[in-house]
């Protein structure tokens, strides 16, 4: 049988499965390539950071004061906060107004390459943002994680945060 005759035969099931697997793997890798790399810039403990603006310090102090506050969808008060309510009220404590939802905040604020303490960090999948937190330095953020939980500190080295990272913004000077 000639080479040309063999190429006109239908693909064998194993070969077809291998090609489908390869295509799916390439699509998956292309999807992962769309996430920006999470980068932070801080010089150690907050107490050692002399170059933070008063606004950044106020944002971080307000977020720290909210630790332990129960999560409440749409919440913007000390009796309950959601993630974007936490960021909105923390920035408002520093005199900075931002939109209400995490997606609106992400769309309205100019993105930065490297998060510093007091910056917002956004998470989601695809083109959508569904979560936001406040970067506190030392690879940590304060956020309101979800129903049944409380405002808490998250370690950003976790694979979940890295794979869902969408970007950062610096609304405070």
- 143 catalytic? Reply is yes
Copy the structure tokens of residue 131: 């979560």
Copy the structure tokens of residue 118: 């007091």
Distance CA 140, CA 117 (A): 9
Catalytic residue among 32, 62, 131, 164: 131
Report the run of H or E that residue 105 belongs to, with start and end. Answer: helix 102-108
- 32 catalytic? Reply is no
- 131 catalytic? Reply is yes
SS3 43: coil
For residue 156, CA distances in Å to 25, 89, 139 come to: 26, 22, 5
Catalytic residues: 83, 131, 143
């Amino acid at each position: 049988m000639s080479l040309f005759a063999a190429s006109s035969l239908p693909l064998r099931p194993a070969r077809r499965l291998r090609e489908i697997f390869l295509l799916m793997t390439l699509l998956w890798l292309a999807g992962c390539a769309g996430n920006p790399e999470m980068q932070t810039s801080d010089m150690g403990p907050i107490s050692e950071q002399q170059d933070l603006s008063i606004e950044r310090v106020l944002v971080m102090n307000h977020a720290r004061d909210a630790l332990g506050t129960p999560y409440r969808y749409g919440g913007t008060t000390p009796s309950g906060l959601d993630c974007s309510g936490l960021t909105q009220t923390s920035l408002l404590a520093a005199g900075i107004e931002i939109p209400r939802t995490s997606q609106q905040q992400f769309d309205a604020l100019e993105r930065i390459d490297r998060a510093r303490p007091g910056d917002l960090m956004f998470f989601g999948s695809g083109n959508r943002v569904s979560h936001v937190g406040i970067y506190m330095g030392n690879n940590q953020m304060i956020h309101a994680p979800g129903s049944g939980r409380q405002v808490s500190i998250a370690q950003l080295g976790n694979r979940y945060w890295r794979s869902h990272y969408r970007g950062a913004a610096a609304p405070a000077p």
